[in-house]
Structure 1
Amino acid sequence: MVEQVISKVLMEMMGKGIDELKAVLYCVLSGYDISEKSTELQSVDESWKEELGAFLVRKRVEGRSDGTIEQYNLHLSRMLRYINKPAKEITESDLFMYISMYKKQRNVSSVYLDNIRLVFSSFFGWLNNKGYIAKNPAAGLDPIKAEKRIKKPLSDTELETLRRKCVIKRDIALIEFLYSTGVRASELIALNRQDIDFNSMDAVVYGKGAKERETYLNAAACMHLKEYLNTRTDGNEALFVSLKAPHDRLTVSGVEEILRRLGKATGIEKVHPHRFRRTMATNILNKGMPIEEVKEILGHAKLDTTLIYCQVNKENVKHHHRKYMSA
């Protein structure tokens, strides 16, 4: 019913200004009996807990990370508690109103909001497939459009500036390792000393979906990593640790803070782990590595994801156009 009323208002407002909104609302709403929702304490429905638990177990079996499972649980629990209905009674209108409220109250980006929509779609799609509900209420939710901004990699000058600003052996080893391997921050912090093979200059990491892949170190990454490890006197097996005792394994937030400080010290904006990943991918693509091999290095399941990471050098495009289009 709410969706029908909104649709009528929107149709009546086509080509009209804001000043006419009041008149349109009076006209449209005159055909409805409107009463304020009761503010009395309502009973709390938690019939969805078993279904949510089964869904999360399924996602864990599929190999989703703990962080991803936590995000699924957070967004779904929050939505289900707010709507306060059994899952089988939730409608597309309920979800649309919740998403609209969420955006207004939390002022989140369209990209973030669309990720929440995808979580809802996955959950209700699974319920529908398993026969828990007759219809998927999220099926009609349109993707939330967001402005696509090109996320720039670090330039050669910026990369060198960051290198020269490092006064701690751990920090130069960290940025060289990130740049050479293109690993995610979560993959980096899970590595141990024995995971590195300096002879073959590679390492095995476990990425998203518990997928194993091989990553590679260049000469600079090997050299700085060896120097860093030789300075350590702690017994922690972790590849990168904190400087202060008891020298705990670095966390994702710890890595981000190290890079944030380097960025602030050099005046370079948005220095974070993923930017080194993007920089590596862009550089090896522009130097001629096939996109399929770049995909394998990054551990992507789809080629489209790799293309998002890689910013093609326009000069290379121009050069190859002349080369292949010449008479």
Structure 2
Amino acid sequence: MDVEVCIKHFALDYKFRMSPTTLRIYQGFIKQFINQLGKTVKEITKKDVRNWITYLSAEKGYQPSTINSKIAALKLFFNYCLEEGLVSQDPTKDIKFVFVKENPPHYLLKEQIMQLRAFLEGQTQERAIMEVLYATGVRIGELVAMEKKDINWTERSIIIPEGKRKLGRIVLFTSECAEHLKAYLDSRTDNYPTLFVLFNSDGTRTNNGKIVEEWFRYYSKKLGFKVTPHTLRHTFAAHLAQRGMPVECIRTLLGHEKYQTTRIYAKLFDLARKEMYD
């Protein structure tokens, strides 16, 4: 079977097993690997895979986490090929993932949160976005996908219908967040269903979170410390840990499907609690 056709069939089979974004990224990794080798799927060996991993690390300088994502894509693809009888053996079977040093995620101190709030004073939409990210711990993709109908103002909660790996959940927000969110919504004159309306530099409407990420790069430059939408997600978790919330509860609010995914946050919880104690 032609390589392109094989990858297409793989994508169709996994269409409902993972998010569209993850599937698209995995397809890119698989194509990159096979195109570089110039071999058919049947001709690829374990040595080819190991040489590629060495090439990614030594010559391309990829981070271990990125290399592991590529390995995961290949493992999934060749497992599919084996099940479909497209290969007689899986060349990734005994391939190990690269060791990744797990550093605690970076988060902001409460003083830095206050500085960020002061910097955004008068910026109605940007302040509302910042408050929602900090109060709920949602991912940037979840933020831009939120709709006004998902909000329960009485309970101060927002439904996240499809998070990462299509895991739905409910997140809560504070009264301070509600105040700024209402101020932003009251300032709007449009009828768009989305909670936040974003525009590209050319004036076209978008739901791409990169616009918000660009804003945060600007904040970092002006404030003198790094802050990103994901930093606020880490900060949300850290500050809850400092208040004594159990790890399992924070894991649920973050929308992590498996405890393994939250493992790196364990160090963050320990660090956050130690700083509170000190």
TM-score for the superposition, normalised by structure 2: 0.90
Letter in 1 for 2:182: K
The RMSD of aligned alpha carbons is 2.3
Equivalence for 1:38: none
* Residue 252 (structure 2) pairs with residue 296 (structure 1): yes
Equivalence for 1:268: 225
* Residue 44 (structure 2) pairs with residue 90 (structure 1): yes
Which of 94, 102, 108 is the aligned partner of 2:56?
Answer: 102
Q: CA deviation at 1:162?
A: 0.5
Report Cα offsets for 1:87-111 as digits up to 9, x if no partner.
Answer: 1221011112223233344322122
Which of 176, 200, 203 is the aligned partner of 2:131?
Answer: 176
Percent identity over paired residues: 25
- Name structure 1 gaps, 5 residues minimum: 1-45, 321-327
Closer, same or farther: CA 242–317 of 1 in aligned 2, 3 Å: closer
Residues in 2 aligned to 1:316 and 1:252: alpha-carbon distance in whole angstroms: 31
Q: CA deviation at 1:152?
A: 2.1
Letter in 1 for 2:174: N
Task: Name which structure has the greater RCO, CA cutoff 8 Å, separation 6+.
Answer: 2
Equivalence for 1:36: none
Which of 191, 213, 220 is the aligned partner of 2:146?
Answer: 191
TM-score for the superposition, normalised by structure 1: 0.77
1:278-289 equivalences in 2 (<5 Å) = 278-289=234-245
Closer, same or farther: CA 216–249 of 1 in aligned 2, 3 Å: farther
Q: CA deviation at 1:247?
A: 6.8
**Structure with larger Rg:** 1
SS in 1 for 2:169: strand
Closer, same or farther: CA 96–315 of 1 in aligned 2, 3 Å: closer
SS in 2 for 1:111: helix
SS in 1 for 2:15: helix
Equivalence for 1:55: 10
Letter in 2 for 1:120: L
In the alignment, is the contact (CA less than 8 A) between 2:197 and 2:205 conserved in 1?
yes
Report Cα offsets for 1:118-160 as digits up to 9, x if no partner.
Answer: 1111111222233322211012222212333322211111111
In the alignment, is the contact (CA less than 8 A) between 2:216 and 2:228 conserved in 1?
yes
Residues in 2 aligned to 1:235 and 1:215: alpha-carbon distance in whole angstroms: 24
Report Cα offsets for 1:173-231 as digits up to 9, x if no partner.
Answer: 11110011111101111111222121221111120122211111111111100001111
* Residue 76 (structure 2) pairs with residue 122 (structure 1): yes
Residues in 2 aligned to 1:280 and 1:131: alpha-carbon distance in whole angstroms: 47
In the alignment, is the contact (CA less than 8 A) between 1:162 and 1:263 conserved in 2?
no
In the alignment, is the contact (CA less than 8 A) between 1:189 and 1:249 conserved in 2?
no
SS in 2 for 1:204: strand
Q: How many residues align?
A: 273
